[in-house]
Amino acid sequence: MPPAEEPKAAVFSDGSRVPVRRVFTYKQDDGVPVFTDKVPANQTYEVMEFSCYACDPGSTVNWNSTLLHTDKYRTEIAAAASTWGVDEALIRAIMHAESGFNPHARSHKGATGLMQLMLGTAADMGVVDIHAVSDNIQGGVKYLAMLLEQYNGDITRATATYNAGPANVDRYDGVPPFAETQTYVERVKILHERYRNAT
Query: Do 167 and 41 contact (CB within 8 A), yes or no?
Result: no
Question: Which residues are CB-neighbours of 62 under 8 A, at least 6 positions away?
Answer: none
Active-site annotation holds for 88: no
Closest CA to 157 of 168, 169, 145: 169
Strands 17-19 and 33-36: unpaired
Catalytic residue among 98, 180, 186, 193: 98
The sign of the dihedral angle between the CA atoms of 135, 111, 191, 126 is positive
* Active site (catalytic) residues: 98
